[in-house]
Every structure is written in C-alpha cells, then in structure tokens.
Amino acid sequence: MKHNDAWSLYWQGGHQESCIANDSTEDQFILSDIWQEFAVSLAHNSAVLDLATGNGSVPHNLLSFNELLQITAVDRADINPQKHIEKNSLLQKVMFMPNIDITHLPFNENTFDAITSQFGLEYSALNLSTSELIRVLKPQGHFLFIMHHKDSEVVVPARAKVQEFELLFDSGILEGFEAFLNAGINLQQLNTLGEKVLAEHTMSKSEAITGQIFAAIDKLIQMKEQGKDIAELIKIYTTMKSRIIAEMSRLKQLISASLSKVDVTALCSSLESMGVNVVFSTIDLPQERGVLGWKIKGTKL
C-alpha cells in the first residue's frame, strides 16, 4: 500500500479530523483557540496556504474567525471534501487541491501572506518542504505549524495500537480465517486457533482493535454457516483486511512523523538559516495531563 493510499482511504471515509485523541472536544477547543489567535492576526483577504489539509480542518477553523481569508488547501492524498463543503458553507470558498506533494508546490515564489499546517508538514521530507514553503511565502508573511510531539497523547497510544495490530498479524489468525473461507480448515480448527491466539495474546487486547477484528470474523463465520456466497465473503474480508493495513500504515506514518525536542530545535535552526524568525513551544493539556503537540510560529524576513 502506498502512503497516500492510506490517507486517501481515510479522508474518503468522511473524517473531518485525524489526530485528535478519541475525537476529544477538549483537543478541538485547544486547537481552535490557537487557530483563532492566528486568524484574527491576519488582514482580511490575506492569501493563506494550508499544507497537508486533509478534509480542511484548519481552513474551517481559520474561516470561523476571519471569514474573508482566501485559502488554498493542498494534500498529497486524493482528497474530495465535497461532503464537508455541503455541511459547512464556510469551506465553499476554499480552493482544495488534491494530489499535491508539498515538497513540490505548484505556486510562484512570494504568493502567500500566511502558511499553516496542522499535523501535516512533518509527514513530508522536511528538508524539501520547508524550503518550498519559504519560497512561496511573501516577505513579512507568517506561518504557524502544529506538529506531532513524540510523547503526545496521540502518538503514545498510536504505538500501542501498532503493536497490537502487528501481534494480531503475526498470530496467524487472519491466515487461519482465509484457510477457513477456502475450506482448507474447518470451523472447529479455526475456533481452536482463535482461542489459542486470545490466550497467548497476553498484551493488552483492546475492544477497538482485537475486539472488532474478532467480532468481524465471527460475523463472517455466521454468514458462511448461513450459506452466503463464498466469493462475496472473500470480498468483504479483503476490504476489511485492506482497511486494517491502511490504518496500520497511517499510524506508523504518524509515529515516524512525530518530533522530539532535538528534532524541533533542528527544524527551527534550519528555518532560521532560510531567513525566518521562528519560535516554538509545546501545546500543553490542562492539569498537567501531558502534551498535544508542538506549536511553531514565525515570520519570513
């Protein structure tokens, strides 16, 4: 699976957000406050470029606080935010551009008054995308990036989820089920394998991953027992498996995109060497409950 296939599948599934712990409204408020402050600091009609936009979470937030911004929003995935545009008229005036790699921006130099990114820039090759974004930003133009923190409340659980997916893949349960569908083993043998996997699977088994996969397999078994067409069952199973692989790919990208303090310091020095003023800080959760990410803010000289 190519990296952008995982994201194309994700955005086409209709999500509005991607990196908020359990769709937390608290996180949404924290992010929204940050974008509010930035949006109101920009003059009306400023030309803004949102990098790796997904289904337009940042444009939505910016336009909620400064309706007259002229926003262009790009992503390497095959995004099609039509469903969100229909629900949210603010997004109607955003120029969404799918299939754009931010390491090669199709814009002239000094085009934008401001550039934004929320959990997006760090997914790209930073040595290429940073020089591109500085090239298309106007002198005195501003940027604000919210980026993944290696120890954030999003990245830490993602590591545990990847581990759980990998253990399930290595356990042989999926191959066992495929053999069952193709009449290579019978139901009793499959049940024995399932029980063995659950017994040996001593790491935490979450309802969201192990629970859902076993429930989906149970449902397909019932459908087979009811005499449903095997070709149809294989099709459903193949779709389920490719969704699991896509989710794993997405989580692995998230983990490897996340930045330590050393990484952020190096990123900021590199930006400074390209002629910008830049400051960074953590985005802290209330009551010392950890961090949501990094905030990196600056101006092109």
Ligand X SMILES: C[S@@+](CC[C@H](N)C(=O)[O-])C[C@H]1O[C@@H](n2cnc3c(N)ncnc32)[C@H](O)[C@@H]1O
Residues that bind ligand X (CB under 6 A): 4, 7, 17-19, 52-54, 57-58, 75-77, 101-103, 118-120, 123-124
Number of residue whose CB is nearest ligand X: 54
Does the CA dihedral 256-258-263-266 come out positive or negative?
positive
Picking from 104, 103, 94, the residue whose alpha carbon sits closest to that of residue 49 is 94
User: C-beta of 17: minimal distance to ligand X in Å?
Assistant: 5
User: C-beta of 154: minimal distance to ligand X in Å?
Assistant: 9
Cβ nearer to ligand X, comparing 54 with 298: 54
Would you call 258 exposed, middle or buried from its count of C-beta atoms within 10 A (0-12, 13-18, 19+)? buried
Cβ nearer to ligand X, comparing 7 with 177: 7
Cβ nearer to ligand X, comparing 46 with 57: 57
Does the CA dihedral 144-148-152-158 come out positive or negative?
positive
In sequence order, what are the residues at sequence separation of 6 or more whose Cβ sits closer than 8 angstroms to the Cβ of residue 235?
A: none
Picking from 177, 154, 152, 12, the residue whose alpha carbon sits closest to that of residue 80 is 12
Do the bridges between strand 95-97 and strand 70-74 make them parallel or antiparallel, or are there none, so unpaired? parallel
Q: 280's torsion region: left (phi>0), alpha (psi -120 to 50) or beta?
A: beta
Three-state SS for 116? Answer: strand
Tell me the C-alpha distance between 108 and 116, whole Å.
17
User: C-beta of 282: minimal distance to ligand X in Å?
Assistant: 18
User: C-beta of 220: minimal distance to ligand X in Å?
Assistant: 30
Cβ nearer to ligand X, comparing 217 with 267: 267
Beginning with the edge strand found earlier in the chain, give each strand of the sheet holding 276-284 in spatial order. 95-97, 70-74, 47-51, 112-118, 137-147, 291-300, 276-284
User: C-beta of 187: minimal distance to ligand X in Å?
Assistant: 40
User: C-beta of 30: minimal distance to ligand X in Å?
Assistant: 13
Residues composing the chain: 301
The answer to whether the beta carbons of residues 101 and 82 sit under 8 Å apart is no
User: C-beta of 87: minimal distance to ligand X in Å?
Assistant: 15
User: C-beta of 67: minimal distance to ligand X in Å?
Assistant: 20
The answer to whether the beta carbons of residues 76 and 99 sit under 8 Å apart is yes
In eight-state DSSP terms, residue 235 is: H
Cβ nearer to ligand X, comparing 190 with 246: 246
Cβ nearer to ligand X, comparing 101 with 178: 101
Cβ nearer to ligand X, comparing 18 with 46: 18
Cβ nearer to ligand X, comparing 253 with 299: 253
